Chain A
């Protein structure tokens, strides 16, 4: 775990620019995320929000700009390095391992914490056995927390969409992340499910001190949950501040919430 304290900057991205061939996905975006806060990233479709998360994850490499996480600055990071440093995420189109059960999916979230050698696993002794049991316990706690006990052995491909998103959330939690990146965690959910998910996010922040960055379209959720918001549009940064500040900004209203023609 890093030595960053509550309230200090955990992650900051500076002057990030990302292009795919001729398409400029992100232009010169700078913002930071403080430890323990819930940071929302909002904007119209195509604004570059998911691309931004992908940059933080190390999946896309920006042509310009730097990322500073837990005090270390770099211009490019490999995905498994990001994971090893404590960045976890969920995806817009649920990226679960469809061939495995709920339990196994969440267990894969523990993969970086398991150190048993191949031989130990092959003969199920020593760390091969003890780690399986120990991490199984941890994962079961997450399953209890998310109230998905009933589906723990079901192949996730068969689960309804809302439950799949919950399992994916569990998998991200299993890694005990410092920074949790959530890409539209409420998409496709009904009111009850959204309330549940909001509750989980808040509890995760309170109980474990996890920092959360989330992309979300539901303005109600954004206003209620987040401490600060950054607004993107066509890859550019429009606003950065508390929910109240941002929703009052004329630029944001024009771009996002629509301009009225009177």
Chain B
């Protein structure tokens, strides 16, 4: 029983990590209809830059993080200037493939700037198992994962506040709803995109820090982007709470399937479980748990 609980909680924690990356996707998709395949690479790039800045310039995390954030904002502006500006009216599949191209560029640039070996990311986050839980409840849960869960919760609250209460947030919601209408009341579409991509960059940085602290900064971080697709299918492409719920379901589902079905079918079920689950969802409820239903008009 304890083991099952640990599995579930471990899955929940993994799910939180997925959710962190998925939130970045949702932001960009809501505001510009673009599915940003490069989100995972952005997390990797952010983490790489953070570590690189800390090592090369010997500064503490308190300075390095704002610097990295600055870099991500520059990236957002560059993406808008060189890519988004030219592809405004293209069909979604073209935009999607453009983000694949972006992913390759970011990955290459990141490797060239900071090297491609695995790096250790240590910004002072607690590591090791939580003694409190271990002693009192006999549960092995890492402190880092608890921190990640808290961070994710805080992030969601901050983002919710941002969208509901601030002027920029309102403009973002307007753009997400209807590009034309937003344009007609004077909202600058490109300004919004730059903001959204910057915020996404911030979310990517948070995700990169969490993942990097947990397993080191390495290339496999960018593969998380692929896992985010099933998360979004489950949660709905346009919903932040959906991204969280979807991430949690996938996280738990994977772990449980691996531990309990693994011995019968074969190991490494985690490779494909999320996708098959998403596929099943697609056939039953394509808009996800929280997404919007699309009505086709002729």
Across the two chains, which residue of chain B brings its CB closest to A54? B298
Asked whether A95 lies within 8 Å of B295 as measured between CB atoms, the reply is no
Measured in the bound complex, the distance between the Cα atoms of B295 and A95 in whole Å is: 17
Measured in the bound complex, the distance between the Cα atoms of B298 and A50 in whole Å is: 9
- Which residues of B have CB within 8 Å of A54? 298
Does A200 sit at the interface, judged by CB under 8 A? Answer: no
Q: Mark B277-298, 1 if CB is under 8 A from A, else 0.
A: 0000000000000000001001
- Which residues of A have CB within 8 Å of B298? 50, 54, 59, 91-92, 95
Q: Shortest distance in angstroms between B180's beta carbon and chain A's nearest beta carbon?
A: 15
Q: Shortest distance in angstroms between B294's beta carbon and chain A's nearest beta carbon?
A: 13
Q: Mark B231-243, 1 if CB is under 8 A from A, else 0.
A: 0000000000000
Q: Shortest distance in angstroms between B90's beta carbon and chain A's nearest beta carbon?
A: 13
Across the two chains, which residue of chain A brings its CB closest to B293? A21
Across the two chains, which residue of chain B brings its CB closest to A93? B298
Does A123 sit at the interface, judged by CB under 8 A? Answer: no
Measured in the bound complex, the distance between the Cα atoms of B298 and A228 in whole Å is: 26
Q: Shortest distance in angstroms between A55's beta carbon and chain B's nearest beta carbon?
A: 12
Q: Shortest distance in angstroms between B262's beta carbon and chain A's nearest beta carbon?
A: 43
Measured in the bound complex, the distance between the Cα atoms of B298 and A92 in whole Å is: 8
Q: Shortest distance in angstroms between A220's beta carbon and chain B's nearest beta carbon?
A: 27
CB proximity to A under 8 Å, residues B108-130: none
Across the two chains, which residue of chain B brings its CB closest to A95? B298
Across the two chains, which residue of chain B brings its CB closest to A59? B298
Q: Mark A45-89, 1 if CB is under 8 A from B, else 0.
A: 000001000100001000000000000000000000000000000
- Which residues of B have CB within 8 Å of A50? 298
Measured in the bound complex, the distance between the Cα atoms of B295 and A59 in whole Å is: 12
Measured in the bound complex, the distance between the Cα atoms of B296 and A91 in whole Å is: 14
Measured in the bound complex, the distance between the Cα atoms of B297 and A95 in whole Å is: 12
Measured in the bound complex, the distance between the Cα atoms of B126 and A117 in whole Å is: 67
- Which residues of B have CB within 8 Å of A20? 295
Across the two chains, which residue of chain A brings its CB closest to B296? A59
Q: Shortest distance in angstroms between A213's beta carbon and chain B's nearest beta carbon?
A: 16
Q: Shortest distance in angstroms between A227's beta carbon and chain B's nearest beta carbon?
A: 26
Q: Shortest distance in angstroms between B7's beta carbon and chain A's nearest beta carbon?
A: 42
Q: Mark A91-109, 1 if CB is under 8 A from B, else 0.
A: 1100100000000000000
Across the two chains, which residue of chain B brings its CB closest to A57? B298
CB proximity to B under 8 Å, residues A11-49: 20
Q: Mark A222-249, 1 if CB is under 8 A from B, else 0.
A: 0000000000000000000000000000
- Which residues of B have CB within 8 Å of A92? 298
Across the two chains, which residue of chain B brings its CB closest to A92? B298
- Which residues of B have CB within 8 Å of A91? 298
Across the two chains, which residue of chain A brings its CB closest to B295? A20
Measured in the bound complex, the distance between the Cα atoms of B295 and A159 in whole Å is: 29
CB proximity to A under 8 Å, residues B54-105: none
Q: Shortest distance in angstroms between A193's beta carbon and chain B's nearest beta carbon?
A: 23
Measured in the bound complex, the distance between the Cα atoms of B295 and A20 in whole Å is: 9
Q: Shortest distance in angstroms between B94's beta carbon and chain A's nearest beta carbon?
A: 13
Q: Mark A1-12, 1 if CB is under 8 A from B, else 0.
A: 000000000000
Measured in the bound complex, the distance between the Cα atoms of B297 and A59 in whole Å is: 10
Across the two chains, which residue of chain B brings its CB closest to A91? B298
Q: Shortest distance in angstroms between B246's beta carbon and chain A's nearest beta carbon?
A: 25
- Which residues of A have CB within 8 Å of B295? 20
Q: Shortest distance in angstroms between A25's beta carbon and chain B's nearest beta carbon?
A: 11
CB proximity to B under 8 Å, residues A143-201: none
Measured in the bound complex, the distance between the Cα atoms of B191 and A123 in whole Å is: 54
Q: Shortest distance in angstroms between B91's beta carbon and chain A's nearest beta carbon?
A: 11
Measured in the bound complex, the distance between the Cα atoms of B297 and A92 in whole Å is: 11
Across the two chains, which residue of chain B brings its CB closest to A50? B298
Across the two chains, which residue of chain B brings its CB closest to A53? B298
Interface residues of A (CB under 8 A from B): 20, 50, 54, 59, 91-92, 95
Interface residues of B (CB under 8 A from A): 295, 298
Between A and B, 7 residue pairs with Cβ closer than 8 Å are A20-B295, A50-B298, A54-B298, A59-B298, A91-B298, A92-B298, A95-B298
Question: Closest 4 interchain pairs by CB?
Answer: A54-B298, A59-B298, A91-B298, A20-B295
